[in-house]
Structure 1
Amino acid sequence: MDPALHRIFIRYINDGCDEAEVKLLLDYFKLDENEDLLKKYILEELEQGEWDGDLPVDLDNHLHAVYAQVSTHIKPVSKPFVKKLYFRLAAAAIIILALVSVYLFTAQPAKNNETANRAASILPGRNQAVLTMADGRTIALNDAINGQLASENGITVKKTADGQIIYETAADNTATGKTTYNTIQTPAGGQWQVVLPDRTHVWLNASSSISYPVSFVGKERLVKLSGEAYFEVSSNKTLPFVVESGNQLVEVLGTSFNIMAYSNEQQITTTLFNGAVNVKAAGKKQQLAPGEQVLNKLNGIELVKGADLEEVIAWKNGYFKFNSGIEEIMNKIARWYNVRIIYENKPDPSQKFEGEISRWRNLNEILHIMEYTGKVHFKVQENTIIVNK
């Protein structure tokens, strides 16, 4: 979801929206003109839980039940818009959890206020990245003004009003034919979008980098990825698009897919949304169909059918979707909030956490909700989170 819309949601929860912003939310969810309708349904479902001041042990299931009830009140739309409605419902789930968190904060006694206060000062990530040109020049993209940033080998690099980086070939192109590379790198707590010279659209997650030629020549369009990115590849049957990440190559013609290849994760995960790709790793080759996933591990590759696409792409759409162990979750938090993680006890890999929440919320709200499960506790010391079960 658009970060600007997330900010409006936060203001809405705190009764800070003006009339135009409220109308924007109603239009987005296809709701009636009553601006309090969604909040009314959510609070009614919460009150029916009869918690008596204590949280239910099956909190995750309870929240899903609340969402299921609330979603039935959202106005149906015609079949051509089913896909759009799906994303509206996914976004609605984020708001439900945000409202639930507000409800919990006000309904329950405060715990560990010192930790909460420290975590409150740790803000979520933002749009920031550095572009490194072939000649070594670096440009802080978040600080650069919109318009032309540089010209290199007959190619103009521009920053658009919505923050994307695009490449344009000049009408009087004087390119020498020499392949030159640019790199965009996001820090911990950063993300960015780039439209490559072939019109392929790339979304970079935090602590990631992509290197690519300013002009694609030869027999393939080769880019190198470290970290995580979502690709919408421009179709070109005569010039395959290839992503190199670690010991893996992903070959495509025109499709949408996500690759997570962080060095501190146990595997490289490639997930296909539409089209077709071939994943080559460890001397093996695996073709993917939409909805399938390849896990590239030290001992070989594994095919997963029926991958949770919503969870895979949650970061791109502006929220966290957790359905995993504490280490995987804390890795995501560390990259987005630019914090260090220390474990006082060895995490139990069989213990799973499930839930969704906006990536634009402050860190203390994320930790607060996780602590209420009773499965984990946190201490915050400056920029370090200490995890204790």
Structure 2
Amino acid sequence: MKNTTELSLLLKKYLTKRIDKEEYEILFLQLSELSNDELKKIVQQELGSVDADPDLADELIDQRLLRIYSKINSTIADKSVASISSGSDKPSTGVFRTWSWIAAAASILLVCGLFFLNRSEKADIHPGLVQRSNDVHPAVSAATLTFENGKKINLDTAVTGVIYEEKGFRIVKSKDGQISYEYDNQHEIETKTNIIETPKAAYTMVVLPDGSKVHLNAMSSIRYPVTFRGDKREVTLVGEGFFEVVKNSAQPFIVHTEGQDVEVLGTTFNINTYDAKKGSKPHW
């Protein structure tokens, strides 16, 4: 990675609101050119700076990486508008590169436990879905998997590897806590529903049956079938989730929420349905 000292300095200036316009442009140009590993390293360095710079500890917890998340959300919104306005189904190379970086950055921030809710800035990610504030600060990977028969598995204490198995499929937990599904024959699987929900101050990531990924924020839940059949891929979200949807024009992906349904063919977006006053407690 080139100019790591300069990049770190610019990032610190940005996070502490001391960056000027020219430096701002340079910073995000450099960030967009980083690989996933390099970006993760930069984020980890910023985390480590808390101990080295105690005067900035509160700013980090309450604002610094929150603004990175807000910037990612704002960029997604800008790209969504640009894509819709152009009317083109084939994004340019530059746009594709930006989208790839946005998805990677959001994933890395979440994995690091920094998927903060936007309390001080509003970033509308999808038209019609209002981003609401909340005081939840995800810090650890934790969630509960509930089956249709009521059985529950505590995912943060479950062992790595196969955590559940029945005819036709297995549910697997990776070393980093990601939940995914492995199939022998999806056509033999009974149509059943699973629910994953996160408690306060936690997050998790699940790979859905079609390969789409959902980064689930604190006090949130997602309900989905163990296999997608028919002409639609439908899930139901309560709270907040960042989606990386596998493209399939023959089977649209639909996210049902209390206020609105969002339908896409394949893209990356965030949905926030938190209740500003009461929080967003999963309920079915």
After TM superposition, the score normalised by the length of structure 1 is 0.43
Aligned match for 1:63, one of 16, 26, 39: 16
After superposition, the Cα gap between the structure-2 partners of 1:102 and 1:68, relative to the gap in structure 1 and judged at 3 Å, is farther
User: Where do 5+ consecutive residues of structure 2 fail to align?
Assistant: 58-136
Q: How far 1:64 moved relative to its partner?
A: 1.7
After superposition, the Cα gap between the structure-2 partners of 1:135 and 1:174, relative to the gap in structure 1 and judged at 3 Å, is farther
Which residue is equivalent to 2:110?
none
AA aligned opposite 2:170: T
Alignment partners' CA distance in 1, 2:231 and 2:15: 54
Superposition RMSD in Å? 4.6
Alignment partners' CA distance in 1, 2:179 and 2:264: 22
Q: Deviations over 1:189-243 (max 9, x none)?
A: 1100000000000000000000000000012011000000000001111110000
SS of 2:33 mapped into structure 1: helix
- Report if the CA contact (8 A) 2:181-2:208 is conserved: yes
After superposition, the Cα gap between the structure-2 partners of 1:93 and 1:248, relative to the gap in structure 1 and judged at 3 Å, is farther
* 1:180-329 alignment runs, 5 A limit: 180-262=192-274, 264-265=275-276
Alignment partners' CA distance in 2, 1:214 and 1:80: 36
- Report if the CA contact (8 A) 2:50-2:56 is conserved: no
AA aligned opposite 2:141: N
For the pair 1:103 / 2:114, whether they are aligned, the reply is no
Q: How far 1:104 moved relative to its partner?
A: 6.2
Asked which structure has the greater CA Rg, the reply is 1
Alignment partners' CA distance in 1, 2:25 and 2:48: 13
> How many percent of aligned residue pairs carry the same amino acid?
32
AA aligned opposite 1:140: N
Alignment partners' CA distance in 2, 1:191 and 1:230: 11
After superposition, the Cα gap between the structure-2 partners of 1:136 and 1:175, relative to the gap in structure 1 and judged at 3 Å, is farther
Aligned match for 1:146, one of 160, 180, 189: 160
AA aligned opposite 2:276: E
After superposition, the Cα gap between the structure-2 partners of 1:217 and 1:30, relative to the gap in structure 1 and judged at 3 Å, is farther
Which residue is equivalent to 1:132?
146
* 1:325-336 alignment runs, 5 A limit: none
Alignment partners' CA distance in 2, 1:137 and 1:149: 13
Q: Deviations over 1:94-120 (max 9, x none)?
A: 569847962368xxxxxxxxxxxxxxx
After superposition, the Cα gap between the structure-2 partners of 1:62 and 1:30, relative to the gap in structure 1 and judged at 3 Å, is closer
Q: Deviations over 1:117-166 (max 9, x none)?
A: xxxxxx96310000012222111000001111112451211001121000
Which residue is equivalent to 1:373?
none
- Report if the CA contact (8 A) 2:164-2:170 is conserved: yes
For the pair 1:31 / 2:19, whether they are aligned, the reply is no
User: Where do 5+ consecutive residues of structure 1 fail to align?
Assistant: 1-26, 46-60, 106-122, 267-326, 336-389
SS of 1:192 mapped into structure 2: strand
Which residue is equivalent to 2:183?
169
AA aligned opposite 1:81: E
- Report if the CA contact (8 A) 1:71-1:89 is conserved: no
AA aligned opposite 2:216: L
SS of 2:188 mapped into structure 1: coil
SS of 2:239 mapped into structure 1: strand
Size of the aligned set, in residue pairs, is 202
Q: Deviations over 1:17-70 (max 9, x none)?
A: xxxxxxxxxx5x8526x9xx958x97xx9xxxxxxxxxxxxxxx9932258898
After superposition, the Cα gap between the structure-2 partners of 1:152 and 1:223, relative to the gap in structure 1 and judged at 3 Å, is farther
Larger strand proportion, structure 1 or 2? 1
